[in-house]
Amino acid sequence: MQNTPIASRKQVAIYGNTNVGKSTLFNCIFEQNAAIVSEEKGTTTDPIIKAMELIPFGPIALIDTAGLKDDSILGKKRLKKTGEILNRTDFAIYVMDATEPDEKSYAKMAEQFQKRRIPHLLVLSKYRLAKESVLDRLQKTYPDALLMEAEERGSIAAIKKRLAEELSKLEEKEETILGDIVSAGENVVMVVPVDSEAPKGRLILPQVQLIRDALDHGIKCLVTRDTELKDALDSLTKVDLVVTDSQAFRKVDQIVPKEIPLTSFSILLARQKGDLKAYLEGIEAVSRLKDGSKILMAEACSHNVGHEDIGRVKIPNGLKKFTGKELTFDFVMSYDFPEEERLKEYDLVIHCGACMVNKKSVLSRIVLCEEANVPITNYGLILALFAGILDRATEKVRV
């Protein structure tokens, strides 16, 4: 669990106005002085992210964000970063100062949480200093709110307990990659080309995730290079699914008999991490592209050169060739993703497989695109379209 990457952990972010006790709560949950706690407004400039084990739930990334009502000079920059954190938050804790309750700010933020489907917990801080009548009214208005006092271990323990319970509910909803389309005991063949672009001596994360998911669900998997694929298929009496690297679609499509379903790692991840329906609708926008159309290529991590080649070179060139249009491309990486106004400039967003980030991050981007009325699709679907096998590559996964 200690080795769980930050992005694969549930992202728990603490929000609230400046000086309400967010960093105090962060420190109490983390039980170390990882964030600076100060009486000076706006001390937390950048979000602070710490990996921890939340017992009994498991690995989380705990995020301390900048204050929402920050009127200092750096306030705008801080708020932009807090907005980026919102896009990846799985669960939010909103801290409201019970001695000076700013319910308008809370209502505004609660609306954002609802819009992005982020469950949240309200914490009323400094409650022992609050007027009894005010606290009484707050507790009646927000019956689910938890009380917090830094020195009271019991109040912190109650917040941690509730947080673990809420996260466990989210975990139950987590979707499998393969387990709902292939049954236990069935055979999946995974095609991993080992060419100059493959990283030396290891598999990449989507391949590892798929193998693990197959093992978790009792699915037998055979991993092979494209060069041995035919032999591998011949060696099995029954093959229930072939999953390939999207870049080998054309070659693999020729080798795999038509009666065997075929898809790619990237399409399976698109289905598990995003919203395949939205991506499939998004791909229809390719036929509407014209000279001068603007495309945003979005990659969810600071990638290696191999990926750079797909996102920066292969897909842009392939799309120009496929459409016969003069297209322009912009590129964003990691958590950098434009807000609604800038998004509207684009005619299509093409997203990577998002193996390094959580489902929440991808869904937030899809919601942002929907609100900006910009179609979004993903690398795997585009590569299947180029190879002329979009229907075949998505048939098995449209469940």
Binding site for ligand SF4 (CB under 6 A): 299-301, 303, 307, 352-356
Quote the least distance from Cβ 62 to ligand SF4, whole Å: 22
| Helix (H), strand (E) at residue 3 | none
Contact (CB, 8 A) for 275 and 366: yes
Q: How far is CA 56 from CA 122, 167, 168, 275, in A?
A: 21, 10, 9, 30
Q: Closer to ligand SF4 by CB, 8 or 99: give it.
A: 8
Q: How far apart are CA 125 and CA 146, in angstroms?
A: 9
Closest residue to ligand SF4 using C-beta atoms: 352
Residue 101, preceding peptide bond in cis (omega within 30° of 0): no
Quote the least distance from Cβ 372 to ligand SF4, whole Å: 21
Helices (H), the chain: 22-30, 75-86, 103-115, 132-141, 153-172, 205-216, 229-235, 249-255, 265-273, 276-283, 305-308, 315-323, 340-343, 359-371, 379-386, 390-395
Contact (CB, 8 A) for 369 and 345: no
Quote the least distance from Cβ 233 to ligand SF4, whole Å: 27
Quote the least distance from Cβ 246 to ligand SF4, whole Å: 10
Quote the least distance from Cβ 369 to ligand SF4, whole Å: 17
Structure tokens at 89: 């938050």
Q: Closer to ligand SF4 by CB, 241 or 300: give it.
A: 300
Q: Closer to ligand SF4 by CB, 283 or 355: give it.
A: 355
Residue 89 backbone phi and psi in degrees, to 5: -75, 125
**Within 10 A of 234 (CB to CB), how many other CB atoms are there?**
9
Q: Closer to ligand SF4 by CB, 4 or 45: give it.
A: 4
Q: Closer to ligand SF4 by CB, 260 or 301: give it.
A: 301
Q: Closer to ligand SF4 by CB, 35 or 385: give it.
A: 385
Q: Closer to ligand SF4 by CB, 101 or 353: give it.
A: 353
Quote the least distance from Cβ 311 to ligand SF4, whole Å: 7
Q: How far is CA 35 from CA 29, 66, 232, 324, 328, in A?
A: 11, 11, 54, 53, 42
Contact (CB, 8 A) for 96 and 102: yes
Q: How far apart are CA 103 and CA 250, in angstroms?
A: 57
- 160: Cβ contacts below 8 Å, ≥ 6 apart: 29, 54
